[in-house]
Structure 1
Amino acid sequence: MPKLNIFVGTMYGGALDVAEQVRPLFEQEGYEVTIFEQPKLEDLTQNSADLALFCVSTTGSGDFPGNFVPFVRAFREQSPALPELRYGLIALGDSSYGETFCGAGRTLDALLEDHGATRLGERLEIDAMETFMADDEAVPWIEQWIESHQLKAA
């Protein structure tokens, strides 16, 4: 059974809600899914999975939420090579913050790419100014993502 690890960076629970709403979509396709609410770098580097999904909200001026800061700090310090990692990224933000909109997701995406990981498809950016419930955008995006990248395992 293929494995999917979902890494969550959230301040008020929106990104965690997205992770919990998309989990069954992967389980229906035959994946064993683990959600990391307090992710550690080891969860990414030592917990091998066929696929990773990052659900990350942005706080302040493009910053990572508190629960995700230790992960990013360790990532930058240890600089792991991730050539085997295939991932998707859902970034949550608020366009009223201008240039820092989805800043955490964009920064994470660049970090992963710089370390050899391969993003499948485009990053989904969800704007709180336009979408009240983030999973309203995330669920159809994940359905299309699974289909277009032939991620069905069942």
Structure 2
Amino acid sequence: MPTARIFVATVFGGALDVAEEIAPLLREAGFEVTIFDQPVLEALTDPLPDLALFCISTTGCGDFPGNFVAFVQALDERGAALQGLRYGLIAIGDSSYPTFCGAGRRLDGLLAEYGAKRLGERLEIDAMEVLHPDEEGVAWAERWIEQL
């Protein structure tokens, strides 16, 4: 059975809610799904999953939430051979800040730098406009999974 790993960066739990709503869709599509809400780089690289999904909130001035800082630092410091990794990315932010979805955009760049291939477009959810990001995330995921 192909594997799908969902990596979550969250402050108040919104990104985790999105991940938990999408996981059953991936299971229905035939994936064995694991959600990582305290992710470490080895969960992504050892071995590479068939598919990865990142649900990333932005905090502060475009920063990663605390639960995701060690993951990004490890990726920055050690690097990773991510050729062959296929991934999707959902970024959640607040458009009243100039760093809207900054963490998601930064992670997208890092993953590409190490050879990963994003499938489809990155979804950016504006918390100023969307009351329930999980609903928008599920609608995006349904279309994204169809493209797989």
Instruction: Establish whether TM, by shorter chain, passes 0.5.
Output: yes
Aligned sequence identity (%): 66
| Structure 2 segments unaligned to the other structure (5+ residues) | none
| Structure 1 segments unaligned to the other structure (5+ residues) | none
1:24 aligns with 2:15: no
Amino acid at match of 1:29: A
Moved over 6 A (4+): none
Give 1:30-45 correspondences, 5 Å limit: 30-45=30-45
CA deviations on 1:96-132 (whole Å, 9 max, x unpaired) are: 002x000000000000001100000110000001101
Aligned partners of 2:43 and 2:22: how far apart in 1? Answer: 19
Give 1:122-133 correspondences, 5 Å limit: 122-133=121-132
How far apart are residue 81 of structure 1 and its match? 1.7
Match for residue 59 of structure 1? 59
How far apart are residue 26 of structure 1 and its match? 0.6
| Number of equivalences | 148
How far apart are residue 48 of structure 1 and its match? 2.8
Match for residue 145 of structure 1? 144
- SS of the residue 1:8 aligns to: strand
Aligned partners of 1:79 and 1:2: how far apart in 2? Answer: 25
Match for residue 12 of structure 1? 12
How far apart are residue 47 of structure 1 and its match? 3.6
Q: TM-score, normalised by structure 2?
A: 0.98
Aligned partners of 1:77 and 1:48: how far apart in 2? Answer: 19
CA deviations on 1:35-89 (whole Å, 9 max, x unpaired) are: 0010000001104311000000000010000000000000001011210100000
Amino acid at match of 1:71: F
- SS of the residue 1:64 aligns to: coil
- SS of the residue 1:95 aligns to: coil
Q: TM-score, normalised by structure 1?
A: 0.94
Aligned partners of 1:82 and 1:134: how far apart in 2? Answer: 28
Aligned partners of 1:47 and 1:58: how far apart in 2? Answer: 27
Match for residue 119 of structure 2? 120
